[in-house]
Every structure is written in structure tokens, then in C-alpha cells.
Amino acid sequence: MGRELSTGVPDRTDFYVTVAAMVMIALWTTLAGLYGARARSTSDFLWASRTVGPRWNAAAVSGEYLSAASFLGIAGLVFKGGVDALWYPVGFTAGYLALLLFVAAPLRRSGAYTLPDFAELRLGSARLRKICTAFVIIIGWLYLVPQLQGAGLTVHAVTEAPQWVGAAVVMVIVTFNIYTGWTHSITLVQAFQYWIKLTALAIPVFVLLIHYAGEDPGFRNSLSASAPPSFSQATDVTPDHDVVLHVTKPMRVMVVGTPDGRPTKGTMPLAPGENRVAKGTTLHFDAGSRVPVISGAVVDNDTWLCPLSRGQRSLLATYSLIVALLLGTMGLPQVLGRYYTDPDGRAARRTTQLVLALLGLFYLLPMASGWLARLYLPRLLVDGNTDAALLLLPRAALGGWPALLLGGLIAAGAFAAFVSAATALVVCVAGGLSTDVLPSRLQDFRAATLVAWSVPLAFVLAVSPLDLAQGVGLAFAVAASSFCPLLVLGIWWRGLTDTGAAAGILAGGGLAFAAVLPAAVGVLPPGWQAVLAQPAAFTVPLAFLTMVVVSRRTRDRVPTDVSRILLRLHAPDRLGLSEDREVGQLGTRIWRAAAALSRIRGGRHRR
Amino acid sequence: MSTTEPVGGVGRRSVVGVGNRPVGGTDSRPLVDPWAAAHTSTEFAVLRNRLRGFVFPMTTFFLAWYFLYVLLAAFAPHFMAIRIVGNINVGLVFGLLQFVTTFAIATIYVRFANRHLDPVGSRIREQVEGGTW
């Protein structure tokens, strides 16, 4: 069995299988784009016509929402942090519950297709609209960074190509999609994407679980032993960045290679506490030796299986994370438009209910694979590349052709997820850029698309990034601290004013952004990790408080037609509202851009 | 918003509110803004109270439930570490239950909205569109 082969040049077959799988995904999205180009009218490109049922639409929403960064990241975090990492999938799912209870139906009735549209429609301020657009762009960029990072990691894990290759390939496909077909908007395509992702993950995980069930009980039960994981066979590990390793009992490791590449023979003592290992050092572990783990990972298996194993210090961080994920989902720029695909509020609610089921079902898979990785891939705990756990798992557990096929399937599924999530995000960011930011002579959706992805791409190349799921968490923290208060107060409180909303967004969202920036850049002092990397527990209340206080002090700015707007938000569907849907600039702009693009492609589309 | 509505309407930027138009043209009563009237009506108050009466307690409940898990994990680690079967302990089951409750709450809300919110909403709609106000 090829379990725990040391890192080295991968088998060529592996390379071909994976590349073939990725090419298939690229072809699939291209074909979908061509299908999209034949859609019945231009508006079909934006929000596919409202004829699909809640089941399809729920699959489409889930397909768009499940970014590979989140599911690779969850597998990696469960692997490293154990049961604590359950909060990410629970939070991603519960965020939809908050969306359903507080904002889904009213937002749908408002007629706003984007968050800045909503702000302008509710409070009638162009200045507020600009601020909202800025935050759409910030959140979109923060969310794109882990997507690109994950794409780079996926391609690197299977082909050893440099990290930037995967990121660049995804961006090329995304740009092609946007220029030709706007695939993200076609409901059926997105719905298929969900089932592709689920299949691509479910088959490998089930095969691996069956394989695990057939292992001898001693090996199986070591997962809950009161000891660190151990190497099941001799393994060489070469971290590609400096790592800090933790052990509970002193141990010695054999060093067989130095950073400058000279072969060497020697041992290195690891004392309880922190042990620094320079990148490029090759460590040799004999079969059965204990696994030292990188900082942030749980050392012993039995504590790994218990929540909050890192002690009560992580209590605050956990609260903060729950707040960010629960309240951040409603503020994500790409989520809003999907609700227009449902014919009425009743169907929209049904869609959300199904989305919760589909997301819960899906997230079980990365959790299970994080669990298996603890047994089969302990070397990733040494080199810190835990986000690659899901991708490398089949090779580590099975070996041979099954591993190749299953590994290819996972990589292709992840790639599909990068493409769909990144497309939705780039469209939102480019929409904001072209409407409110770029100088008017550059108000071209195509140019904006390039700007929309080049900034996060440059960021990924420049800084050594966080774990994927943590990176995603930063975007949620900013969304929860800026748009959540705007939506909740805007929908539920008549007293909100444009000045209050702007002050709240700037205070909460701005502070959250300032706090996560050091984490995103990777210069976080360790002691501040809990507060800065996940600031939502402070910044969300701050945003709400600022909005309420400033609105109270600027009472004269409450819109005069607030009754009419609030009735529109809360009264039932079809209140004669189809006649006067006010859609702000951005919706109009995106629509025009779509129209322009479709004219370029041969003018097949009627208005 | 009906299914038959042309989706191309996205591009229009119409600010003509229905409220500015007379409703029930043959009516000789002085013109009343039906929106303001509907907004202050008892029906709308019922709708709003029912919605709030459901959403706010339910939110309190699910937040309490999530935080209970975190508190148990922090202050009752031995309870969370009790093994149920094989490698599966109480903490893990508790974590997975969070998914179940999230879905359950959504289901309860959908039923509640279909039974108790939509009928009131429909009555308001009929009244506004029928020109009762």
C-alpha cells in the first residue's frame, strides 16, 4: 500500500488523471456557458427565469454557496482542531436560518437585487450606496482570497505545480465564463454543480469509510487514544515553510536533510512546548513514532475528539465565530440575487428550508474526511499543509488505481466549486466596481472583471495565507459587522436613517476590516489571535449600537415614505408591487452590461 | 410579484409609486394613500405581531441552544467526553445535533408562515388591491 509515501515527484498517471478531471470541469462550464448563450432572453443571464421549482433552486443556491475553500477548509480544520471545527459548518448552515427568519422574504419583496440597491431603496442616499458598494468589494475580495488560495493548493497537491498556477487557471475560466455565458446565473447549471460537488465528495468519502471499517480495531481505535497520532510506517516530511511543532512528551526526531539541500544524518530533540523547524528541513519518522503537531493543532487524539479542547481561552473566539457565521451569511453579496428565482415568498421559504438540508448533508462529508485524515495523513500535522487533507486522503489510505480515480474526482469537484463560487463573487465585485468606483470612462463590465480578480490574486501571491476556513471566516466577520445591522434594522426598524446606517457600517465593518487585515496578511501577534482574527463578537454589537444611536440623533432624516417602504417589505407578495419595482443603479448597470455582452456575441437576445 | 411578470423589468427605473395613484376610480371619497392606511391597519398590526411573536422568541431559543453547547464544552468537558459508541462521544453528537435543530427550526418556521402569516397577508393584499382603503 502506498500509505504515507513521502512527498516527492508525483506519479505521472496521477497527474494525467487529475488534469483530465479538471479539463472535464472546464469543458463542462464552457458548455454550460454556451447553453447560457442560447438562453431565451438577456435577463435569463442574470437571474434565470422564474420557472424552476424550489428543489432546483435550493440545489442552485447550495451549489453557489458551497465554495471549495469552505469544504477543503472544514476537512483541514476538523483534522487539525477536532470537534471545535464543527462550528464552521454549523455556522454556515445556521447563517441561512438567520437569513430565512429575518431578511429573506422582505428583501425579496423590496425588489433590490444587490445590497447597495437595498440601501439606496430603503434610505434614499447615494452616499450610503457608495459606502455599501465599498463593503461589497471588500467582502468579495476577502472571500475570493481563500478561493484562489484553495485552487492553487488543489493544483499543487496533485501536480506539484506552483501555487499561482491553480489560482490563475480558475481566474481564466471565470473570466471566460463571464465574457461568454454568465453561467453562474443559470439556475439549472448551478443546481447541477451542487450534485456534481456532492457526488465528487460522497463517493470517495464512502469508499474510504468502508475501507476504514475494514481496518484492524487497534488502528481504528487509536483515533480516541489518549496519545498523539502515530505514523503507521516510516515517513519523511519536508515542510515548505517554517513550522512550530508541539509535543507533550520529549522526543527525538531524525534529521535527514537540511534547508540548503545537503543530506545529513543527525537527531533533533523536541521538548514539550514550541520547537522551531526551518523550512526545507527533512525529518525522518520511523513507523510507530509519535507525531509532533504544528501550533494550532490538537496534540492528543482524545482531546481532539472533545469540543473546546484548547481550553476556555478559545471560548471567546468560538462565540465570536458563531456570531460572524450566523449573521454574516445574510450580508454576503452573492447570496441575495438567488431569491428572485422563486415565484413567490412561499417558494422562497421552501427553498431556504431545502438549502439547509442540502448544506447539512454536504458538510457531513468534509467532517468525516477530516476524521479519517487524522489516521491516514499524520504527516500533514507536521508540515502544516492540513487544507490539502481531503485531496491527499485517497492516496494515503488506498493506493493504486482506486486512489487515483477517487483523488481525481475530489480534485475535479473542488475545482468545480472554485469556479462557481469565484464566478459569483467576481460578478458581484465587478458590478460594484463598474457602477460606483471606476471613473465613468472605464465603466465597462469587462474591465471591472479584470480588476475584480487581479487584486485578490496579487494578494494571494504576496502574502503567506491563513487556513482556508479561517480566511472565509474573515469575510463573514466583515459582512456580519456591516450588512447584517443594515438589513436587520432596515427591515425591522422605522427609525433608521441614512446617516445612522452609514455610521454603523463604517464603525462596525471598518473596525472588523481593520482587525482582520493583520490576520489576513499573516502578521498577527499570537496573543491577539482570538480578538483580531475573529472580531465579530465586538464589532457586530458596535455596528448595531452606532446605527441606533446615530439614527436617533438624526431623527429628521428618517425617509418620509418610510411607511410605504416598510409595508412593501412586510406585506405579502403581489401587493401590486410588480408595477413599481425600484431597482437601483447597479441592477440596471449589470443588466445593461449583460445586454451589451449579448449583443457582442451576435445579438441573439431580445430585450 | 407574479410569475408572468416580464423579468426584463429589471432595467426600468420606475419611481411611480402605486400610492400616488387614486385607487378605485369611481370612488368619490377624498383620496387616501392606501399604503399609509394599510400600514396603520389592524390587519397589518396582526401580521407584524405574529411574525415578531414567532421570530424573536425562536431566535432567542436557537442562540441559547448554540451557546449551551459552547458552555457545556467549556465548563463540562468530562460530560462531553463520555463515549457513546466506538470513537463517538457526547460532544460530537451534540455538534451534529446542531444541524438537526437548525433544519427543524426552519421547518417549523415554514409551516408557521404558511398557516398563520400568508392568510393575513392575502387579506391585506385583497383589501389594498380591491380599493377598500
Asked if residue A336 lies in contact with residue A115, where contact means CB atoms within 8 angstroms, the answer is yes
Q: How high is the pLDDT of residue A441?
A: 58
The domain segmentation of chain A, as residue ranges, is: 12-33+52-212+305-595, 227-301
Q: How high is the pLDDT of residue A310?
A: 55
Residues 36-65 in B contacting A (C-alpha not used; CB under 8 Å): 36, 38-40, 44, 47-48, 51, 55, 58-59, 62
- 3-state SS, residue B88: strand
Spatial distance between the Cα atoms of A531 and A544, rounded to a whole number of angstroms: 19
The partner residue sitting opposite B125, judged by closest CB among A343, A571, A580, is A571
Q: Residues for chain B: how many in total?
A: 133
A270, β-bridge pairs: A251
Chain A residue with minimal CA distance to B115?
Answer: A346
Q: How high is the pLDDT of residue B32?
A: 56
Q: Is the pLDDT of residue B50 over 70?
A: yes
Between residues A602 and A249, the one the model is more confident about: A249
Cell numbers for A62: 447550495
Chain A interface includes B124 (CB < 8 A): yes
Mutate to test the interface with B, among A322, A353, A365 (most CBs of B within 10 A): A353
Q: Is the pLDDT of residue B103 over 80?
A: yes
Answer yes or no: is the ipTM higher than 0.85: no
Give kind and range of the element (H or E) at residue A251.
strand A251-257
Q: How high is the pLDDT of residue A524?
A: 65
B5 CB neighbours in chain A (<8 A) are: 578
* Cα dist from A499 to A494, A513, A549, A557, B121, whole Å: 14, 20, 10, 8, 32
Cell numbers for A486: 443594515
A587, β-bridge pairs: none
Q: Is the pLDDT of residue B13 over 60?
A: no
Q: Is the pLDDT of residue A551 over 90?
A: yes
**Measured over all CA atoms, what is the biggest interatomic distance in chain B, rounded to whole angstroms?**
79
Q: How high is the pLDDT of residue A196?
A: 82
Q: Is the pLDDT of residue A394 over 80?
A: yes
Lowest model confidence (mean pLDDT) among A219-228, B73-82, B110-119:
A219-228
Dihedral class, residue A123 (left if φ above 0, else alpha if ψ from -120 to 50, else beta): alpha
Q: How high is the pLDDT of residue A553?
A: 93
Spatial distance between the Cα atoms of A181 and A594, rounded to a whole number of angstroms: 9
Output the pTM of the full model: 0.82
Chain A residue with minimal CA distance to B35?
Answer: A564
Chain A residue with minimal CA distance to B18?
Answer: A580
C-alpha distance from B28 to closest chain A C-alpha (Å): 22
Spatial distance between the Cα atoms of A516 and A532, rounded to a whole number of angstroms: 6
Report the alpha-carbon angle A239-A244-A245, nearest 5: 90
| A77 closest CA partner among A383, A370, A320 | A370
| A444 closest CA partner among A338, A452, A457 | A452
Task: State the alpha helices, DSSP H only, in A47-125.
Answer: 54-65, 68-81, 87-98, 105-110, 115-123
Spatial distance between the Cα atoms of A530 and A318, rounded to a whole number of angstroms: 9
| A419 closest CA partner among A57, A119, A155 | A155
Dihedral class, residue B131 (left if φ above 0, else alpha if ψ from -120 to 50, else beta): left
Between residues A142 and A235, the one the model is more confident about: A142
Q: Which among A362-376, A420-434, A478-492 has the top mean pLDDT?
A: A478-492
* Count of beta carbons in the 10 Å neighbourhood of residue B74: 17
Start-to-end Cα distance in chain A: 60
Mean pLDDT to the nearest integer, A145-166: 84
Spatial distance between the Cα atoms of A232 and A238, rounded to a whole number of angstroms: 18
C-alpha distance from B29 to closest chain A C-alpha (Å): 21
* B81 Cβ neighbours under 8 A, 6+ residues apart: A302, A305, A306, B89, B90, B91
- Cβ-defined contact of B99 to A573 (cutoff 8 Å): no
C-alpha distance from B42 to closest chain A C-alpha (Å): 13
- Cβ-defined contact of A571 to B17 (cutoff 8 Å): no
* A51 Cβ neighbours under 8 A, 6+ residues apart: A343, B3
Give kind and range of the element (H or E) at residue A502.
helix A498-504
The CA dihedral of A391, A393, A396, A401, to the nearest 10 degrees, is -70
Report how many Cβ contacts below 8 Å link chain A to chain B.
213
The partner residue sitting opposite B36, judged by closest CB among A319, A349, A563, is A563
Give kind and range of the element (H or E) at residue A247.
strand A243-247
User: For a pLDDT cut of 70, what percent of chain A falls above it?
Assistant: 78
A257, β-bridge pairs: A263, A282
A44 CB neighbours in chain B (<8 A) are: 7
Lowest model confidence (mean pLDDT) among A110-119, A339-348, A461-470:
A339-348
A245, β-bridge pairs: A275, A294
**Amino acid, single-letter form, for residue B56:** F
Q: How high is the pLDDT of residue A383?
A: 80
C-alpha distance from A448 to closest chain B C-alpha (Å): 20
| A296 closest CA partner among A539, A5, A524, A6 | A524
* B48 Cβ neighbours under 8 A, 6+ residues apart: A570
Going by the DSSP 8-state scheme, the letter that residue B31 receives in this structure is P
Q: Is the pLDDT of residue A582 over 90?
A: no
- Cβ-defined contact of A581 to B9 (cutoff 8 Å): yes
Chain A interface includes B125 (CB < 8 A): yes
* Residue B9's pLDDT band (cuts 50, 70, 90): very low
Asked if residue A500 lies in contact with residue A554, where contact means CB atoms within 8 angstroms, the answer is yes
Report the alpha-carbon angle A133-A138-A141, nearest 5: 125
- 3-state SS, residue B122: helix
Cell numbers for A107: 428583501
Q: Is the pLDDT of residue A140 over 90?
A: yes
Going by the DSSP 8-state scheme, the letter that residue A3 receives in this structure is T
B124 CB neighbours in chain A (<8 A) are: 571-572, 575
Spatial distance between the Cα atoms of A153 and A76, rounded to a whole number of angstroms: 12
Chain B residue with minimal CA distance to A322?
Answer: B66
Mean pLDDT to the nearest integer, B91-103: 86
Spatial distance between the Cα atoms of A212 and A222, rounded to a whole number of angstroms: 12
The domain segmentation of chain B, as residue ranges, is: 31-130
- 3-state SS, residue A388: helix
* A218 Cβ neighbours under 8 A, 6+ residues apart: none
The partner residue sitting opposite B1, judged by closest CB among A83, A567, A577, is A577
Q: How high is the pLDDT of residue A504?
A: 96
Q: How far is CA A91 from the centre of its chain?
A: 12
| A471 closest CA partner among A534, A405, A562, A543 | A534
- 3-state SS, residue A254: strand
- Cβ-defined contact of A574 to B99 (cutoff 8 Å): no
What percent helix, strand, coil does chain A show, rounded to 5? 70, 5, 25
Q: How high is the pLDDT of residue B19?
A: 39
Give kind and range of the element (H or E) at residue A348.
helix A345-376
- Tens of pLDDT, residue by residue over A297-333, are 777 777 777 766 555 556 788 888 888 999 999 988 8
| A450 closest CA partner among A426, A421, A472 | A426
Between residues B80 and B107, the one the model is more confident about: B107
Mutate to test the interface with B, among A107, A305, A340, A346 (most CBs of B within 10 A): A305
**Amino acid, single-letter form, for residue A470:** Q
- Cβ-defined contact of A305 to B87 (cutoff 8 Å): yes
Instruction: Write out the DSSP string of A36-68.
Output: HHTSSBHHHHHS--TTS-HHHHHHHHHHHH--H
Mutate to test the interface with A, among B102, B118, B128 (most CBs of A within 10 A): B102
**Amino acid, single-letter form, for residue A307:** P
B66 CB neighbours in chain A (<8 A) are: 90, 94, 322, 326
A563 CB neighbours in chain B (<8 A) are: 35-36, 39-40
- Cβ-defined contact of B121 to A571 (cutoff 8 Å): yes
Q: Is the pLDDT of residue B24 over 60?
A: no
B65 CB neighbours in chain A (<8 A) are: none
Give kind and range of the element (H or E) at residue A243.
strand A243-247
A12-33+52-212+305-595: CATH homologous superfamily? Sodium/glucose cotransporter (1.20.1730.10)
Mutate to test the interface with A, among B33, B39, B63, B114 (most CBs of A within 10 A): B39
Give kind and range of the element (H or E) at residue A269.
strand A263-270
Q: Is the pLDDT of residue A121 over 80?
A: yes
**Amino acid, single-letter form, for residue A431:** G
- Cβ-defined contact of A573 to B1 (cutoff 8 Å): yes
Residue with cell 446617516: A499
